[in-house]
Amino acid sequence: MPGSPRHLEHPDADRIVLTDVLLALSDPARLSIARQLLTGPLEVAACQPVDGDLPKSTLSHHLKTLREAGVIRNEPAGRQRLVRLRRDELDARFPGLLTAVLGAGPGST
Amino acid sequence: MPGSPRHLEHPDADRIVLTDVLLALSDPARLSIARQLLTGPLEVAACQPVDGDLPKSTLSHHLKTLREAGVIRNEPAGRQRLVRLRRDELDARFPGLLTAVLGAGPGST
């Protein structure tokens, strides 16, 4: 059912724009969420920054920003929704970017 | 003369924050300026995005954002002011970041 809430828009890999990705990851909460997705997909409800318990509306906004920038996919999986990092696509388009940003050490928020 | 307009504040290298750097580089004009600085320092007046002729006030704002984030230094050099990329310091703090961001190809604005 395209257009239904279950199917959200995602930019094609070749339309992902670097400055959109940088802006999406420039927020500490969104950066923290993206880092947690390095180890695998998470249910939407489990997507929280490590140091926070954000209101659902704030979290939805962050996930929307990450999705529209092309950083994550948010797709139905059975009765749940799974959020996953678009790692392979981003690595192909911007080599080294995710490794540098998500693997950064000191001062990394 | 610390405090005079000639001496601007710059964050110490070990206080540079990743999300500040990402936010500074998430604007296409600032990203373009940073890329031009890869080949060496420029006078302030020569810092323009490749595709633009920005008003002086806009340019000053962009340079301030890049400076306060720790991406560039803006320092007096004789009667001029030179802007330079803090390449070595950023490479040491966030390995691979500038290479990935400034060297990015398609969709790179």
Predicted confidence (pLDDT) per residue in A24-63, tens digit: 999 999 999 999 999 999 999 888 888 778 899 999 999 9
Q: What is the C-alpha separation between B104 and B72, in angstroms, rounded?
A: 19
pLDDT score of B63 more than 50? yes
CB A54 within 8 A of CB A29: yes
* Selection from B19, B50, B48, B106 nearest residue A108 by Cα: B19
Chain B residue closest to A26 (CA)?
Answer: B19
Q: What is the C-alpha separation between B103 and A20, in angstroms, rounded?
A: 16
Residue A9's Cβ-count burial label (10 Å; 0-12, 13-18, 19+) is: exposed
User: Which residues of chain B make contact with A27, given a CB cutoff of 8 A?
Assistant: 19
* Selection from B80, B89, B85 nearest residue B103 by Cα: B85
Say whether residue A16 is in contact with chain B using an 8 A CB cutoff. Answer: yes
pTM given for the model:
0.91
The encoded tokens of residue B100 equal 């990935």
Residues 33-92 of B with CB under 8 A from A: none
Say whether residue A96 is in contact with chain B using an 8 A CB cutoff. Answer: yes
Confidence (pLDDT) at A107: 60
Inter-chain touch A22–B18, beta carbons under 8 Å: no
Chain B residue closest to A107 (CA)?
Answer: B17
Q: What is the dihedral of CA B82, B61, A23, A60, to 10 degrees?
A: 160
Mean pLDDT value of segment B75-96: 95
Inter-chain touch A99–B94, beta carbons under 8 Å: no
Of A18, A27, A100, the CB nearest to B19: A27
Helix (H) or strand (E) holding A90, with range, is helix A87-93
Confidence (pLDDT) at A3: 46
